[in-house]
């Protein structure tokens, strides 16, 4: 449940690859009524179109493809390696099917598809899938919308019943209230994920200048507030009728199924749904720029940003792959021109290039965030110099080898799960009509040449105009790269023909009772993967498991200590993570660039990291390249160079990132909450990356000493999962015997002070649009079958499930938040119970009341029979999804070593799960939910939130952003008052990069 807080993670979330533009003037949409008609099942037979099988070791996803009489395409991938099934329904409609004045419909309708249908109650989709032990989601982008579930294979029929009901029986369940609820949800979502997020409007602003007025890529997938405000429920219903027919959809099912089984169920549940209007593929001319277009905006950011974008080609165009190669050479990694010229010289915190393509267009984009002392004008020169340097250096054999090997390795890794294979088939069928298009893609990537890359550079980049967007801190307009010279010009725009006239809702007529939820088949047999154990003479404990699904090997080294070791000298907190970062750089024999190049050519990865409890090394390799990968692992592990220039650069970036965190309320909340729980003097009260003061104290000699003293096989566990046997892999790891063992003392954790009474702590974040809430106390250490495990069962219906009491109250009933949760987190030492959410500023006090009310009510009244049955079913059947991928197996096996768990501990957990009683759950609630002794913390706009908080009956204490008390005397209200009553529309869990949640 922890949230990473580095700038890179912030930007990865903010700069998602969606093209967007500024809001033009729009006319009010025409209101059209919706007619309801019933009809009988269409005549005709399901046709099998093709069957693709794998020959030898070729990289192919086997499948069978069918088309129902109503036009629904059905693709089935049969894979009995795990007792799970992934169901994906993709509709070929995204924001590109919208029109001026009605932006955001595709995403809006994604929300509506989770609001119930004729035979599925509002919000029941989540509950049914969760109770079945599955996961679910929905995503929208420019070109398609998809809905998917991963469930135990005995729940296949239930998943198909759910998807068919909302495809064919949705509109009668779409009410004005649901429409208004989700309209507010989408508006709030835009505020949180776009308007109020650093760099959140980058693609909206750049696409404003890149695409002509009216182009469907010239607005965000989430749409404009003014468009959402003006539409009505019939507009939305007509959008469904136009685009959500079975002939514009692909049903893809993969996993522990047979094609005959899937087709029979598809015919039953989808066959009677009437065909929709014809949908043709779109083709639009590429945007044309006659000069460089400069534009800018001010944002709540620490680092300014410059983005340069050139228009290119759509997905699957012959020039897409060579442009991808060019992007890698310019700014794709440690061997790129931008990295060499900007990152290595300490001019930027981030510099990159990419070439995201969509169905109608592509964008070649360079993005740079300079460190203080370097201007955006300087960065524009650096970008142009990078192209000039490319012209001189050209394309090397190494460039092509790295690109091709990395692509193939990424494809192999993406196919390690049933969900990955199924979604790949679905995407290719939707956009090319050929689920086997992976074969074409592999050929295109393997065939790309140096001449191809030089040709596309000359055709699309060299001397061509671009869009240059400056993002500058608020109040610093002078920091732009160049003065704005672009404005949207709507002249010449011609609205397309009306596509929504005369649409009718033709409801299917069945020969069975669709209102009856299908009964699941027998529960699949879940077995823990077989494993083996071994030990090196120097103390490394090894555990491994064979996995034959893909020809790869995953290795995970875990060294006890990490951030906890810094308790020996807290004045240098952050040294563990800085040491790990430095070990990702050069070795004695190779530079970081050499290592990166060799790993890319192998299609392998080696990554060092550090957390509160451990340092880690993650290794991924294809079996055929394992020996070469392990040779590079030996270099990095046992012979790090610890170069002074690398250290200086990483330390400078670390200090800048720490300063940047102060602008992020979520990070401030997590840091201050930890300080409150653990207290002054506890190493866990200090962030893992350290503070400005502690990182400034660290020298390169300190890092070398930390490595010498604590990087030891005596505290190391190694997990190996992949297509190798124990007898094959252990001799290859003989180099680890050279690693000298040292005695490592893990500092004992000091006792954490008890909370004497519940108080509210406030950290001021002036004019913040939301408040971050954390509520909790120090609870339990981890155990697999004792009170910790049982407490997680108790908490499942309180705050862990999507349909938990806390989440349904604060999000669905009150609309205060996109997601509210509670959880226990422990390790060898006690960890906290935490309840958390980001809520709207004007309901901060009310949100605290609702959090505490739900915790207190659960403690006093306990669990219901229905909730107990739901918890047992959801957690018990969910085991089917736990051990599928190599990383899932590795995490499972690592826990076994770390906590010295018995081989049958999962069976013991299941026994506890099935036998735990209401009385035991209720006793656990009384014991581990001490509402009278919890800390409540808010990070938000003090002027807005504090008056309401002071009326809640708790002592209110002000803290600064470092967690230090700044009031001489806390305020305690004389009278306990009810918070203000606010009843906004319901909300929904936040979408992540186009997801429904």
In CATH, which superfamily holds the domain spanning 293-479?
Metalloenzyme, LuxS/M16 peptidase-like (3.30.830.10)
Distance in angstroms (rounded) separating the CA atoms of residues 224 and 763: 32
Q: Which residue has the tokens 């609309």?
A: 815
pLDDT at 526: 67
Instruction: For 612, list phi and psi in degrees, rounded to 5.
Output: -60, -40
Q: Are strands 467-473 and 293-299 parallel, antiparallel or unpaired?
A: parallel
Q: State which H helix or E strand residue 127 sits in.
A: helix 124-131
For residue 292, which phi and psi values (nearest 5 degrees)?
Answer: -60, 135
CATH topology identical between 7-283+495-508 and 293-479: yes
For domain 759-882+902-959, give the fold. Answer: Cytochrome Bc1 Complex; Chain A, domain 1 (3.30.830)
Alpha helix segments (H runs only) across 139-258? 156-168, 176-190, 202-210, 225-230, 233-243
Residue 921 CB neighbours (<10 A) = 23
- The ranges of the chain with pLDDT < 70 are 1-43, 188, 192, 196, 525-526, 966-997
**Phi-psi label, residue 223: left if phi above 0, alpha if psi -120 to 50, beta otherwise:** left
CATH architecture observed for domain 532-738 = 2-Layer Sandwich (3.30)
- Assigned token pair, 275: 């065909």
Q: Domain residue spans in the chain?
A: 7-283+495-508, 293-479, 532-738, 759-882+902-959
Work out whether strand 759-764 and strand 955-959 pair parallel, antiparallel, or are unpaired. parallel
Vertex 442: Cα angle to 437 and 448 (nearest 5): 125
For residue 23, what are the CA distances in angstroms to 296, 338, 408, 589, 629?
Answer: 15, 33, 40, 55, 50
CATH code of the domain occupying 7-283+495-508: 3.30.830.10
**Beta pairing class for 63-67 and 47-52:** antiparallel
Angle at the Cα of 15 from the Cα atoms of 619 and 766, rounded to 5 degrees: 115
Buried b / exposed e over 656-677, threshold 16 CB at 10 Å, is bbbebbebbbbbbbbbbbbbbb
């Amino acid at each position: 449940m922890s949230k990473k807080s580095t700038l890179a993670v912030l930007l990865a979330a903010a700069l998602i690859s969606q093209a967007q533009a500024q809001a033009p003037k729009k006319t009010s949409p025409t209101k059209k009524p919706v007619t309801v008609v019933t009809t009988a099942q269409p005549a005709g037979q399901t046709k099998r179109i093709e069957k693709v099988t794998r020959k030898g070791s070729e990289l192919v996803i086997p499948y069978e493809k069918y088309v129902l009489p109503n036009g629904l395409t059905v693709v089935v991938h049969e894979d009995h390696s795990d007792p799970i099934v992934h169901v994906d329904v993709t509709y070929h409609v995204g924001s590109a099917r919208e029109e001026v004045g009605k932006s955001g419909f595709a995403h809006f309708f994604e929300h509506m598809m989770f609001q119930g249908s004729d035979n599925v109650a509002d919000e029941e989709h989540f509950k049914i899938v969760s109770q079945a032990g599955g996961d679910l989601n929905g995503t929208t982008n420019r070109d398609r919308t998809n809905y998917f579930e991963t469930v135990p294979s005995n729940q296949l029929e239930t998943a198909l019943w759910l998807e068919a009901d909302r495809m064919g029986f949705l509109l009668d369940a779409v009410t004005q209230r649901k429409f208004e609820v989700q309209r507010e949800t989408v508006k709030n979502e835009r505020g949180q994920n776009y308007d109020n997020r650093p760099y959140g409007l980058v693609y909206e602003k750049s696409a404003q200048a890149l695409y002509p007025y009216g182009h469907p890529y010239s607005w965000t997938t989430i749409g404009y507030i003014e468009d959402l405000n003006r539409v009505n429920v019939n507009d939305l219903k007509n959008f469904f009728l136009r685009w959500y027919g079975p002939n514009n959809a692909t049903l893809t099912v993969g996993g522990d199924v047979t094609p005959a089984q899937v087709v029979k169920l598809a015919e039953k549940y989808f066959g009677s749904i009437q065909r929709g209007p014809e949908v043709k593929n779109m083709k639009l001319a590429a945007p044309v720029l006659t000069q460089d277009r400069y534009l800018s905006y001010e944002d709540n950011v620490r680092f300014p940003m410059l983005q340069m974008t050139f228009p290119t080609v759509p997905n699957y165009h012959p020039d897409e792959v060579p442009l991808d190669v060019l992007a890698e050479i310019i700014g794709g990694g440690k061997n790129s021109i931008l990295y060499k010229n900007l990152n290595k010289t300490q001019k930027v915190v981030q510099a990159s290039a990419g070439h995201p393509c969509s169905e109608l267009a592509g964008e070649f984009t360079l993005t740079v965030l300079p460190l203080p002392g370097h201007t955006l004008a300087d960065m524009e020169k650096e970008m142009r110099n990078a192209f000039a340097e490319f012209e001189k250096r050209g394309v090397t054999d190494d460039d092509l080898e790295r690109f091709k090997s990395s692509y193939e390795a990424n494809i192999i890794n993406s196919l390690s799960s049933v969900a990955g294979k199924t979604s790949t088939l679905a995407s290719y069928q939707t956009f090319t009509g050929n689920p086997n298009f992976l074969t074409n893609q592999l050929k295109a990537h393997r065939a790309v040449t140096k001449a191809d890359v030089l040709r596309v550079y000359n055709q699309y980049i060299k001397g061509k105009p671009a869009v240059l967007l400056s993002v500058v801190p608020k109040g610093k307009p002078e920091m732009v790269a160049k003065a704005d010279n672009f404005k949207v010009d709507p002249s010449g725009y011609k609205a397309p023909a009306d596509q929504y006239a005369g649409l009718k809702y033709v409801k299917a007529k069945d020969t069975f009772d669709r209102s009856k939820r299908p009964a699941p088949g027998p529960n699949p047999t879940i077995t823990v993967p077989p494993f083996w154990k071994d030990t090196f003479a120097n103390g490394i404990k090894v555990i491994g498991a064979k996995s034959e699904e893909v020809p790869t090997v995953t290795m995970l080294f875990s060294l006890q200590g990490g951030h906890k070791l810094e308790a020996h000298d807290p004045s240098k907190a952050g040294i563990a993570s800085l040491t790990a970062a430095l070990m990702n750089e050069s070795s004695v024999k190779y530079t970081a660039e050499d290592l990166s190049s060799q790993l890319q050519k192998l299609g392998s990865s080696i990554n060092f990291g550090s957390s509160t409890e451990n340092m880690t090394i993650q290794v991924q390799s294809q079996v055929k390249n394992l020996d070469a990968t392990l040779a590079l692992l030996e270099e990095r592990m046992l012979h790090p160079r610890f170069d002074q220039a690398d250290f200086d650069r990483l330390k400078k970036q670390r200090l800048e990132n720490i300063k940047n965190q102060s602008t992020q309320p979520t990070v401030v909340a997590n840091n201050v909450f930890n300080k409150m729980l653990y207290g002054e003097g506890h190493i866990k009260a200090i962030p893992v990356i350290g503070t400005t003061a502690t990182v400034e104290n660290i020298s390169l000699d300190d890092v070398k000493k930390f490595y010498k003293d604590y990087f030891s096989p005596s505290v190391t566990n190694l997990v190996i999962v992949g297509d190798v046997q124990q007898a094959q892999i252990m001799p290859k790891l003989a180099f680890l015997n050279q690693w000298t063992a040292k005695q490592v003392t893990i500092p004992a954790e000091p006792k954490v002070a008890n909370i004497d009474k519940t108080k509210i702590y406030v950290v001021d974040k002036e004019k913040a649009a939301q408040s971050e809430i954390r509520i909790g106390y120090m609870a339990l250490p981890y155990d697999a079958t004792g009170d910790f495990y049982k407490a997680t069962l108790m908490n499942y219906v309180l705050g862990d499930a999507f349909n938990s009491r806390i989440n349904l109250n604060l999000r669905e009933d009150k609309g205060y938040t996109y997601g509210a949760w509670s959880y226990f987190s422990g390790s060898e030492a006690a960890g906290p119970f935490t309840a958390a959410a980001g809520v709207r500023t004007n309901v901060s006090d009310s949100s605290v009341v609702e959090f505490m009310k739900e915790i207190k009510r659960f403690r006093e009244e306990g669990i219901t029979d229905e909730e107990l049955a739901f918890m047992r079913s959801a957690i018990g059947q969910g085991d089917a999804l736990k051990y599928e991928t190599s990383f899932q197996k590795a995490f499972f096996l690592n826990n076994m070593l770390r906590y010295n768990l018995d081989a049958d501990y999962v069976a013991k957990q299941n026994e506890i799960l099935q036998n735990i009683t209401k009385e035991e759950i209720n006793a656990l609630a009384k014991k581990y939910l001490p509402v009278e002794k919890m800390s409540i913390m808010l990070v938000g706009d003090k002027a807005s939130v504090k008056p309401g908080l002071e009326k809640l009956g708790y002592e209110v204490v002000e803290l600064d952003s470092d967690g230090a008390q700044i009031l001489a005397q806390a305020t305690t209200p004389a009278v306990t008052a009810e918070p203000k009553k606010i009843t906004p529309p319901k909300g929904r869990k936040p979408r992540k990069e186009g997801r429904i949640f």
